[in-house]
Structure 1
Amino acid sequence: MTQGAAQRRPRWGRRVLLGLLAVVAIAGIALAVAVRHRLDQRVRGEGVVRAPSEFTALEGSTGRAGAFVARIDFTSMATGSETISTEVAWDDEWFFQDPIAYNHELATTCSVLSAVANSESAYYQAGSDSPAYMEQALAELGFEEISTASYQYRSEVFDEVVDFIAGTDDVVAYSVATKRVTSEGGSERTLFLVSIRGSYGSEWLSDLNMGGAAAYGMEEITHEGFSEAAREIVDELAARVTEEAGLGGTDDICLLFTGHSRGAAAANIAAAYADEMSQGYRALAPLESIYCYTFATPAVTTFDNARDALYDNIFNVMNPSDLVPRLPLRSWGYERYGHDLWLPGHGDEGFDESHAAMREVFEANTGVECPYVPEDRERVDRLVADLGREIPTVGDLATLGGGATVVKDLLADVNPMQVLYGHYPSVYIAYMQSVNWGQSPIDTTD
């Protein structure tokens, strides 16, 4: 080796190292600027992002009205990114019926739309060739306009990192869409559909942000991570409803909220806010025109009025083997607004038949066998009982010992990945398509 070559090699190595350091420095500066920008937005009262104020027309809308059946595409956690599909029913007449009467057909369609809300995320990731599942689904159902702006800012890894660092992850992605619906008698209303995505990226941390009533000088509280997301949705919806209604008022507006998991929690609270607003001067819609169906819904509030008649238009569908609806614990004072409807669970009368029917529908929808283990209900029951006994209050959870207890009990009682199968949206869809609850809610407790 010549002396010149020996001298050039270290020099080249230093250049590579300096180049890498420069890239890291630039990335750090860009991240710092992005975080500062997010925090400035919050200070200015703009929320995490400022979404476009206009709807966009749904391309290829069928314009369908009345009663019909449509095929909807989405993805399933059981099959990865592979597109699957199922048929759903739709009837404009639903939105002229009493919202406190449980409507199983509408609930089943909502179970699919809440799964589509999760599928939509990939469409907004750079370089993705994933279709716009929500836009396609709502076009099939005859909706006319849509906004999915929040997905644009909440589906990239970079944005998730920024939200985590900035502490601005109390958000969700959601779609708002409109359709003019007509009753058999000729009455018309403008339907606003709100379908909310489940936990995504750093939003998982927000699921743990229960907040503290004492910090607000209150004795009761609604889960902070969920309620912050719900408030953003309601504020956005209020602006759109006001624009639609103009000076004519909101008497011909109707609302439909749906979501799965974190999306279910946000939908539950947003619908409760809409119910409360209907009693005041800033109504989004009349109380008799507000509908809500949620799935795998966590508990959301410690307010003792959550089961009041005002919220009878909210229905929360849950799987007894799913851990998510059992958290935060009821023993800590947490409830959901409205009615709890529990799907068939292991040990219930007639469960074997309902489970077999669900598995058949699941495989028809996804092309794979259902991985859900119904016997996990016993493990979930035991875990909830253990946590309630060992961590009697939310304050105890915040201690080092409380966190260690959660980890210990989780590892001792459940297989987290296996229990997750019972949380899959596709399991909920298959159950909804295979059971028939008629028009009366099955309101039970856990």
Structure 2
Amino acid sequence: MKNTNITTNNTVNKTNTNTTNSKGVKTMKKTSIFKKIIAGVLSAITVFSVGAIALTSASAAETGTVESVKYKGNTIYYSDDYFRHSSTEYDEHLATLSCIMTNFSVPLDNPSSLDSDWYLKQPERLYGFFGSIGFKDFETNDDYVSRSRFDSIGVGCANRQVDDYTVIGVGIRSGGYFREWSNNVYLGDGTKSDYMHEGWYNAANKTIDYINEYISANRITGKIKVWIAGFSRGGATANLAAGLLDNRILNDEEIFSNDVTLTRDDLYAYTFEAPQGANYNSETVEKPGSELYNNIYNVVNPNDLVPKVAMSEYGFTRFGIDKFITTEFFDPDNFADNRDVFLNLYEENGTPRSEYKADDFKMYGTPLKKMAPLVAELVACLPAGVAEVVSQIKDGTILVKDDTKANYDANIATYLLLEEMTKNIGSRSDYCSKYQQGVSNFLLTLMNDVDALKKDELEYLAGKLLLSEAVSSVPGFGDLAEDAIRDVLPADTNANEVIDSIGPLLDVVGDVYWERPNELISVGLYVKEIFQNHDNGINIAHLEAQDSYYVANYNNNHGILMPKVELRDSADFGRVTCKDYNDIGLYNENGKINLVSVKGAKGVKSEVKKCTKGFAVGYYSYATEEGLELFVPVNRKYILNMMSYSIKPKHTVSYSAFYQSVSPNSDCRFRDGRGNFSDWYFMNSDFLQRGLNMNYYK
């Protein structure tokens, strides 16, 4: 490891405002508003000194100094050394810088009118970011400075000379999507996108085309490095664009029209909370698990719902290597300390730690026969505010804690809901023919620029729709979901038409309610907390917590020794489901340590007696014929003992066990094992014990 000194950079490179795109594409530099905002942008950039702090470098390739600047309240560290090592080497500093880049690709507010110059100002923050780290010749594509469309994608580029390379920074607009939201649910049947997500596939190809235009317009030649980053929809686009570029490099195709050279080691791609757009069924590219994509890094929070779609059951995944933010389920021993480091930096960035609620998820429920009236009351309370609802939950007025489940988190609950929804929707073809256009039209109506819903309004609507549709599926209750939709639609909208378009998917939600009532209720109740995991400000603090530069600077300023957080390389889990049992125990490999215990007796419902951190267990009961779901970390061996009580004189305990891969690093999403074993039940003798040896070594 090498110590690297942070020094100040007293020069901020100004961009050349005279470059003209060779294809006549209107860029930010050609707008009348551009010159008016240059002074304001540059005045927001402050070069500052943090003293002679010796920082331990995470990259052996680092040899130079690190420049430190302040831009719009953010501390930014930059070094040319980020691009002096192979792109297949994960760089914690470049990851943080990339996340900050995606944050500044987003406009801060909504347009006041469709003819305002707000659209021309959209790239202002990204322009200032690139200028703060010495990148010049900033340009954008037309989509970045125009009203959004169903299939638009904003892309901004700038460049900097590093040794004998031209580094081209590519920022994909990662917010302010408006009508592009309708494109996010447009999976397509795969015939026009090699089975990849059609919307993001088209956006990725537009991104590559614009990089080519930028290179040509700026007359860049010779060796280049491409640095591309995106968050959420922007992340899915960046992921596919990088994957497609990797394949073109592999096949020695001409990628760009100008006389430039790009190798795989010189393509740096970082994405954040990116949905899944690649697909294992693709035929024109290398499979997602290939080492070809080891220059693409995806930072994912397991408790975020967004990276779980499009659905893995349809073959969707991401190109590259997933790096996971630590959660209590996957890293219980270090979780508290890791969260403390993250929250210190989160607060340092200007947000009180008390506003962080993303880990507050709990499972709640009630007996099924009482669910409908209680949920109706819950829905009625929602307009009064979440605080009131939560207080009523805590005192048992509305719902009670689900004691049939232990250690369930947002990751498990949302996974189970999506799994059940996919089963009810059917195949990818079924989704496209029955649901896709209606959901797309619904989002197009809600996210129509000036009338677009704010984030908190969307979260509120999502939670209310989940809860309302649960109640509406019960005979005798009115259509509360329909009322919730009418409340948020613009006045001039044909409400009946919009409701009809979303109706088939809401029917699916109603069906899911009967299969997963407590998961649906809990996700609906905690939807705001769950979606806080999809906040880029939180992502930045998570990335800073694993970046030695930020941790060292914090420690120096506060006189403490705060450790650096490590991202996880896996968020895979093993899952076992069993039917017809009433006593079960999970033990370590030698059978001596009891990790999970669910026990009962003849004619009595089971209870969760023990569930250590790092494991989750839930069960359901129909008389004494019971079922269980068990979630365990992988890369370990376990012994699962099932001791059965049953009202039947002879019965079979059936089980299914599988390993769920949540990253693209294997060539198969699931590894299944299904079977059964028989127990004879004798009224006057003890139960018989049978064991299932579980091997989750990958």
TM-score by length of 2: 0.48
* Structure 2 counterpart of 1:197: 173
SS in 2 for 1:180: strand
SS in 1 for 2:213: helix
Residue 371 in structure 1 maps to residue 359 in structure 2: no
* Structure 1 counterpart of 2:71: 72
Please say if residues 156 and 171 of structure 2, whose CA atoms lie closer than 8 Å, have aligned partners that are also in contact.
yes
* Structure 2 counterpart of 1:421: 532
* Structure 1 counterpart of 2:634: none
Please say if residues 417 and 520 of structure 2, whose CA atoms lie closer than 8 Å, have aligned partners that are also in contact.
no
Distance 1:121 1:143, change over 3 A: farther
Structure 2 residue aligned with 1:331, among 294, 304, 313? Answer: 313
Within 5 Å, give how 1:355-434 maps onto structure 2.
Answer: 355-369=339-353, 370-374=355-359, 375=361, 376-398=410-432, 399=434, 404-406=507-509, 412-415=521-524, 416-434=527-545
Please say if residues 338 and 565 of structure 2, whose CA atoms lie closer than 8 Å, have aligned partners that are also in contact.
no
SS in 2 for 1:98: coil
For residues 90 and 439 of structure 1, what CA distance do their matches in structure 2 show? Answer: 21
Within 5 Å, give how 1:314-325 maps onto structure 2.
Answer: 314-325=296-307
For residues 273 and 404 of structure 1, what CA distance do their matches in structure 2 show? Answer: 37
Shift of 1:151: 5.5
Shift of 1:435: 2.7
Residue 221 in structure 1 maps to residue 195 in structure 2: yes
* Structure 1 counterpart of 2:569: 442
Farther off after superposition, 230-239 or 128-137 = 128-137
Please say if residues 326 and 568 of structure 2, whose CA atoms lie closer than 8 Å, have aligned partners that are also in contact.
no
> Between Structure 1 and Structure 2, whose CA radius of gyration is higher?
2
Shift of 1:433: 0.9
Please say if residues 25 and 141 of structure 2, whose CA atoms lie closer than 8 Å, have aligned partners that are also in contact.
no
Shift of 1:86: 2.1
* Structure 2 counterpart of 1:99: 87
Distance 1:331 1:438, change over 3 A: same
Q: Deviations over 1:307-330 (max 9, x none)?
A: 211111000101111100000111
Within 5 Å, give how 1:218-367 maps onto structure 2.
Answer: 220-244=194-218, 248=221, 250=222, 252-279=223-250, 280-284=252-256, 285-304=262-281, 305-349=287-331, 350-367=334-351
Distance 1:190 1:439, change over 3 A: farther
For residues 224 and 50 of structure 1, what CA distance do their matches in structure 2 show? Answer: 24
Please say if residues 124 and 151 of structure 1, whose CA atoms lie closer than 8 Å, have aligned partners that are also in contact.
no
Please say if residues 96 and 289 of structure 1, whose CA atoms lie closer than 8 Å, have aligned partners that are also in contact.
no
Distance 1:245 1:311, change over 3 A: farther
Please say if residues 196 and 279 of structure 2, whose CA atoms lie closer than 8 Å, have aligned partners that are also in contact.
yes
Shift of 1:441: 7.7
Please say if residues 122 and 130 of structure 1, whose CA atoms lie closer than 8 Å, have aligned partners that are also in contact.
no
For residues 109 and 83 of structure 2, what CA distance do their matches in structure 1 show? Answer: 28
Please say if residues 123 and 156 of structure 2, whose CA atoms lie closer than 8 Å, have aligned partners that are also in contact.
no
Residue 211 in structure 1 maps to residue 188 in structure 2: yes
Shift of 1:69: 1.6
* Structure 2 counterpart of 1:44: none
For residues 235 and 405 of structure 1, what CA distance do their matches in structure 2 show? Answer: 39
Please say if residues 382 and 413 of structure 1, whose CA atoms lie closer than 8 Å, have aligned partners that are also in contact.
no
Shift of 1:223: 0.8
Which AA in structure 2 matches 1:371?
Y
SS in 1 for 2:76: strand
Give % identity. 20
For residues 253 and 94 of structure 2, what CA distance do their matches in structure 1 show? Answer: 29
Please say if residues 122 and 145 of structure 2, whose CA atoms lie closer than 8 Å, have aligned partners that are also in contact.
no
Residue 141 in structure 1 maps to residue 133 in structure 2: yes
Distance 1:443 1:88, change over 3 A: farther
SS in 2 for 1:390: helix
For residues 120 and 190 of structure 1, what CA distance do their matches in structure 2 show? Answer: 30
Please say if residues 107 and 123 of structure 2, whose CA atoms lie closer than 8 Å, have aligned partners that are also in contact.
no
Please say if residues 339 and 443 of structure 1, whose CA atoms lie closer than 8 Å, have aligned partners that are also in contact.
no
Which AA in structure 2 matches 1:431?
H
Which AA in structure 2 matches 1:132?
E
Shift of 1:352: 1.9
Structure 2 residue aligned with 1:51, among 16, 26, 45? Answer: 26
Distance 1:66 1:236, change over 3 A: farther
Which AA in structure 2 matches 1:143?
F
Q: Deviations over 1:247-298 (max 9, x none)?
A: x5x4x10000101000000111111122122232314521111000000110
SS in 2 for 1:268: helix
For residues 505 and 323 of structure 2, what CA distance do their matches in structure 1 show? Answer: 30
For residues 95 and 123 of structure 1, what CA distance do their matches in structure 2 show? Answer: 37
Higher relative contact order (CA 8 A, sep 6+): 1
5+ residue gaps, structure 1, are 1-46, 74-84, 164-168, 182-186
Which AA in structure 2 matches 1:197?
R
Within 5 Å, give how 1:146-161 maps onto structure 2.
Answer: 146-150=138-142, 152-154=144-146, 159-160=147-148
Which AA in structure 2 matches 1:141?
I
Distance 1:101 1:152, change over 3 A: closer
Q: Deviations over 1:306-364 (max 9, x none)?
A: 12111110001011111000001111110101011111123222122212222222122
Farther off after superposition, 287-296 or 221-230 = 221-230
Residue 177 in structure 1 maps to residue 165 in structure 2: no
For residues 569 and 125 of structure 2, what CA distance do their matches in structure 1 show? Answer: 31
Q: Which has the higher strand share?
A: 2
For residues 114 and 290 of structure 1, what CA distance do their matches in structure 2 show? Answer: 17
Please say if residues 545 and 565 of structure 2, whose CA atoms lie closer than 8 Å, have aligned partners that are also in contact.
no
Which AA in structure 1 matches 2:134?
G
* Structure 2 counterpart of 1:108: 96
Which AA in structure 1 matches 2:508?
T
Farther off after superposition, 223-232 or 388-397 = 388-397
Farther off after superposition, 387-396 or 101-110 = 387-396
Distance 1:66 1:320, change over 3 A: same
* Structure 1 counterpart of 2:553: none
Q: Deviations over 1:144-175 (max 9, x none)?
A: 11013445544xxxx34xx3xxxxx1222121
Please say if residues 180 and 190 of structure 1, whose CA atoms lie closer than 8 Å, have aligned partners that are also in contact.
yes
For residues 105 and 122 of structure 2, what CA distance do their matches in structure 1 show? Answer: 13
Which AA in structure 1 matches 2:238?
A
SS in 2 for 1:190: strand
Within 5 Å, give how 1:113-132 maps onto structure 2.
Answer: 113-119=101-107, 126=116, 132=124
* Structure 2 counterpart of 1:29: none
Please say if residues 144 and 173 of structure 2, whose CA atoms lie closer than 8 Å, have aligned partners that are also in contact.
no
Shift of 1:99: 0.6
5+ residue gaps, structure 2, are 1-22, 48-63, 257-261, 282-286, 362-409, 436-503, 514-518, 548-563, 572-660, 663-698
Which AA in structure 2 matches 1:176?
C
For residues 112 and 140 of structure 2, what CA distance do their matches in structure 1 show? Answer: 10
Please say if residues 210 and 224 of structure 1, whose CA atoms lie closer than 8 Å, have aligned partners that are also in contact.
yes
